[in-house]
Amino acid sequence: MVEINSVLQEGRKFPPPTAFAAAARLGDPAEYERLYRRSLDEPEAFWAEVAAELHWFEPWQAVREWSHPHVRWFVGGRTNLAYNCLDRHLTAGRRTKAALIWEGEPGETRTLTYLELHREVCRFANVLKSHGISAGDRVAIYMGMVPELAVAVLACARIGATHSVIFGGFSPNAIVDRVNDAQAKVVVTCDGGWRRGRIVPLKDNVDEALERCPTVAHVFVLKRTQQHVHMKEGRDHWWSDSMDQVSHDCPAEPLDAEHPLYILYTSGTTGKPKGVVHTTGGYMVGTYLTTKYVFDLREDDVYWCTADVGWVTGHSYVLYGPLANGATVLMYEGAPNHPDVDRFWAMIDRWQVSVFYTAPTAIRAFVRWGEEHPKKHDLSSLRLLGTVGEPINPEAWMWYRRVIGGDRCPIVDTWWQTETGAIMISPLPGVTPTTPGSATKPFFGVDADVVRRDGTSCGPDEGGFLVLKQPWPSMLRTVWGDDERYRQQYWSQIPPFYFAGDGARRDADGNFWIMGRIDDVINVAGHRLGTMEIESALVSHPAVAEAAVVPRPDELKGSGIVAFVTLEGGRRPTDGLVDELRDHVSKEIGAIARPDQIRFTDALPKTRSGKIMRRLLADVAANRELRGDTTTLEDLSVLQQLREADEG
Ligand code: WT7
């Protein structure tokens, strides 16, 4: 872990607008203070009250059992998240309310009421059951952003099948790793998906992957793009045929609160992706409450989170959190610049979106595309804006506020992780004054601190490690199949606290400023990529001997990827090889990991124990002065060489 220096200076402050605060679910700072204190002082009573707002088939016997580093919430309770997202609303006056409003990239639209979504989910749950799937089995879902993706996810939750959603932008190799690690019995996919006017060949990718996935017995294929795909007899089934053969009567399974709801793979530092495990009851309560207060949801909101369901943001804040609250969720299939760069603004206007949640990387693209595009549309329906995924630079925040929010909408900058399941640090829009670039204050029940390596608290504005000191309901329970990795990765670096790798500082007002990852993970456009995975992909190419991957600041994506590569003897660096290597990484991991730059070198800077010094390479890649200690470097001339290559 490297030392963390804080460089950002920011003084602009925005109190909650008076009109917003007056109508907000939480608009009184004293009431907020009381609730926050109670959530920390009496967490069990606090969370029990929240959980009681939801449906349980059996009550819990204990709210929390904490045996470091394992926690159980609502012990002995039985519930069902799909029931709480659907059935609960059918008797609460939301039967005909729009649950999902969907827009396909080519422009078609579909609306599913809570009643309709409930029926589809019950049907697909019966499809899974009739193919032998039951509680505890794993189902991999590799689809585009279509309503049936929501249906598939909720159908799994309904019968207790643990879902593993695989981002539709991933390559066959990524599918193989994830399906095999989870030992999935079923894959749900589409013939293809629309992305920027082109078809992503989802089914072809599945076919290629399944040659190496022995556990998969059934594949369900939704027709979306209608091109020809190969259907393997006995294994592959059309979604619509299967749906026609079952009834829509499927009672929700009463599941143990700690039943594994899903596995979601996230990059670690050691190459192999980690299967983050979330369970049922605590995750439900955490996503429900954060959605309610952070997004200040009201009955008539049209809520749009632009994340893909392939990432945790899509799990928690496209599906589970908003649906548990009975919200109307807008879901969009495609790219923000198709057919034109004003697609999002046209959609906000068309659907009268009131709450909009997106990522800094998207906001930076909007800034670059120009404010004339949002200005063409009426965005006055918006009342609240959110951001997530990486630190937002203050100028992008200010642009978002002015151009999209009309200087009227509060912005919630929400810090959390795949592992935390739900938002951990964020303003509550009716009570928290905001400052561009700060995620501000911990959410209810979140005991966050910035500490030194020895675990002692840092002073104001002192950079340190961001830790969470108490377990929270939606936290990950383990790493799938590797509990030791769970202990090591999250609980052993700054013991006894939870630490998942971010540096931060807290200012004199108690606001948190997240400073990014302190380990070798690159955050490209809000996606966390392990440098090791990219390096492994490069080294798997026959020409490559060794590779070191580092981030370089990128105005648009947050970080770009620079790969330093040494070649196998006899291979010569050529422009053709640069393209070949970049394509190779795309194929191995996905286009998101494609290096922006490949730099050939004769040697990489290493410590005596043979560890590549990425810190120095990052300085070279960013054209910075070399910082910090170089004494552990084995051969100083290597660096000299790299710099000269740069000038040449
Ligand atoms: C990492 C988690 C949480 C959903 C999306 C990413 C960074 C996330 C913020 C924010 C600064 C942020 C952190 C975190 N991050 N939100 N508001 N400000 N940094 O999920 O892939 O698990 O990545 O994203 O570095 O640790 P993820």
Q: Ligand 1 centroid vs 503 CA: distance in angstroms?
A: 11
Q: Is 167 in the pocket of ligand 1 (CB under 6 A)?
A: no
For the chain, the farthest-separated pair of C-alpha atoms sits apart, in whole angstroms, at: 73
pLDDT of residue 645: 60
pLDDT of residue 530: 66
Q: Are 362 and 337 in contact (CB under 8 A)?
A: no
Q: How confident is the model at residue 269 (pLDDT cuts 50, 70, 90)?
A: very low
- CA 428, 429, 435, 437 dihedral sign is positive
Cis peptide before 69 (omega within 30 of 0): yes
DSSP 596: S
- As a residue count, the chain comes to 648
Q: Ligand 1 centroid vs 313 CA: distance in angstroms?
A: 10
pLDDT of residue 236: 98
**Sequence ranges of the domains in the chain:** 16-445+480-493, 525-647
Other C-beta atoms lying within 10 Å of the C-beta of residue 271: 14
Q: Ligand 1 centroid vs 555 CA: distance in angstroms?
A: 18
Among 388, 434, 443, say which to mutate for ligand 1: greatest number of ligand atoms within 8 Å of CB. 388
| Mean pLDDT value of segment 608-632 | 74
Question: Residue 380: CB partners within 8 Å, gap ≥ 6?
Answer: 406
Q: Is 440 in the pocket of ligand 1 (CB under 6 A)?
A: no
Q: Is 306 in the pocket of ligand 1 (CB under 6 A)?
A: no
- Cα 19 to Cα 31, 381, 385, 456: the distances in Å are 18, 15, 16, 41
Helix (H) / strand (E) element for 293: namely helix 281-294
Q: What are phi and psi of 117, to 5 degrees?
A: -65, -40
Query: Cα–Cα–Cα angle for 315, 318, 321, nearest 5°?
Result: 75
Q: What is the pLDDT of residues 149-192, one digit of tens each?
A: 999 999 999 999 999 999 998 889 889 999 999 999 999 999 99
Q: Is 502 in the pocket of ligand 1 (CB under 6 A)?
A: yes
Q: Is 439 in the pocket of ligand 1 (CB under 6 A)?
A: yes
Question: Residue 580: CB partners within 8 Å, gap ≥ 6?
Answer: 541, 543
**Which ligand 1 atom minimizes the distance to the CA of 528?**
21
Q: Ligand 1 centroid vs 101 CA: distance in angstroms?
A: 27
Q: What is the pLDDT of residues 361-417, one digit of tens each?
A: 889 889 888 899 999 999 999 999 999 988 787 888 999 999 999 999 999 999 999
Residue nearest to atom 21 of ligand 1 (CA): 528
Q: Which residues of 502-525 are buried (b: 16+ CB within 10 A; e: fewer)?
A: bbbbbeeeebbbbbbbbbbbbbbb
Long-range contacts of 488-492 (CB under 8 A, 24+ apart): 489/268, 489/274, 490/69, 490/419, 491/68, 491/69
| Helices 614-621 and 637-647, axial angle in degrees (round to 10) | 20
If we measure between CA atoms, which residue out of 51, 55, 53 comes closest to residue 74? Answer: 51
Share of the chain above pLDDT 90, in %: 75
| pLDDT greater at residue 94 or residue 437 | 94
Question: Tokens 């303003």, residue?
Answer: 427
Q: What is the pLDDT of residues 516-555, one digit of tens each?
A: 667 666 888 877 676 777 887 888 898 988 888 999 988 8
If we measure between CA atoms, which residue out of 321, 351, 259 comes closest to residue 74? Answer: 259
| Mean pLDDT value of segment 436-442 | 95
Rounded distance between C-alpha atoms, residue 146 and residue 332, angstroms = 8
pLDDT of residue 270: 46
pLDDT of residue 531: 76
Rounded distance between C-alpha atoms, residue 641 and residue 612, angstroms = 16
Strands 274-279 and 478-479: antiparallel
Q: Which residues of 585-612 are buried (b: 16+ CB within 10 A; e: fewer)?
A: bbebbbebbbbbebbbbebbbbeeeeeb
Question: Tokens 């599918």, residue?
Answer: 175
Q: Is 391 in the pocket of ligand 1 (CB under 6 A)?
A: yes
Q: What are phi and psi of 55, to 5 degrees?
A: -90, 135
Give the pair of three-digit tokens for residue 377.
């549309």
Q: Is 308 in the pocket of ligand 1 (CB under 6 A)?
A: no
Question: Residue 515: CB partners within 8 Å, gap ≥ 6?
Answer: 4, 6, 8, 391, 463, 502, 503, 504, 505
Give the pair of three-digit tokens for residue 487.
């202990």
Q: Is 390 in the pocket of ligand 1 (CB under 6 A)?
A: yes
Rounded distance between C-alpha atoms, residue 646 and residue 639, angstroms = 11
Q: Ligand 1 centroid vs 465 CA: distance in angstroms?
A: 14
| Helices 43-51 and 29-41, axial angle in degrees (round to 10) | 110
Other C-beta atoms lying within 10 Å of the C-beta of residue 63: 19
Q: Are 512 and 441 in contact (CB under 8 A)?
A: yes
Q: Ligand 1 centroid vs 301 CA: distance in angstroms?
A: 26
Question: Which one is the CATH code of 525-647: 3.90.550.10, 2.60.40.10, 3.30.300.30, 3.40.50.170?
Answer: 3.30.300.30
**Which ligand 1 atom minimizes the distance to the CA of 526?**
6
Q: Is 426 in the pocket of ligand 1 (CB under 6 A)?
A: no
Helix (H) / strand (E) element for 504: namely strand 498-506
pLDDT of residue 271: 55
Q: Is 389 in the pocket of ligand 1 (CB under 6 A)?
A: yes
Q: Ligand 1 centroid vs 388 CA: distance in angstroms?
A: 6
Residue nearest to atom 10 of ligand 1 (CA): 415
Question: Residue 39: CB partners within 8 Å, gap ≥ 6?
Answer: 46, 47, 444, 445
pLDDT of residue 627: 67
Q: Is 266 in the pocket of ligand 1 (CB under 6 A)?
A: yes
Q: Ligand 1 centroid vs 597 CA: distance in angstroms?
A: 24
State the virtual CA torsion across 588, 590, 592, 595 in degrees, nearest 10.
Answer: 30
Q: What is the pLDDT of residues 451-483, one digit of tens each?
A: 999 999 999 988 889 999 999 999 999 999 999
Q: Are 252 and 45 in contact (CB under 8 A)?
A: no
Hey, what amino acid is at 156? C
Q: What are phi and psi of 360, to 5 degrees?
A: -55, -35
Q: What is the pLDDT of residues 308-354, one digit of tens each?
A: 999 999 999 999 999 999 999 999 999 999 999 999 999 999 999 99
Q: Is 264 in the pocket of ligand 1 (CB under 6 A)?
A: no
Q: Ligand 1 centroid vs 505 CA: distance in angstroms?
A: 15
Rounded distance between C-alpha atoms, residue 204 and residue 308, angstroms = 21
- Cα 351 to Cα 188, 272, 340: the distances in Å are 29, 41, 18
Q: What is the pLDDT of residues 59-91, one digit of tens each?
A: 999 999 999 999 999 999 999 999 999 999 999
pLDDT at 626 over 90: no
Q: Ligand 1 centroid vs 389 CA: distance in angstroms?
A: 4
pLDDT at 6 over 60: no
Residue nearest to atom 17 of ligand 1 (CA): 415
DSSP 415: B
Q: Ligand 1 centroid vs 447 CA: distance in angstroms?
A: 18
In the chain the first and final C-alpha atoms are separated, in Å, by 33
pLDDT of residue 1: 38
Among 415, 423, 425, 468, say which to mutate for ligand 1: greatest number of ligand atoms within 8 Å of CB. 415
Q: Which residues of 637-648 are buried (b: 16+ CB within 10 A; e: fewer)?
A: ebbeebeeeeee
DSSP 24: S
Q: Is 6 in the pocket of ligand 1 (CB under 6 A)?
A: no
Q: Which residues of 94-122 are buried (b: 16+ CB within 10 A; e: fewer)?
A: beebbbbbbbbbeeeeeebbbebbbbbbb
Q: Class of the 16-445+480-493 domain?
A: alpha beta
Helix (H) / strand (E) element for 277: namely strand 274-279
**Which ligand 1 atom minimizes the distance to the CA of 313?**
4
**Which ligand 1 atom minimizes the distance to the CA of 267?**
21
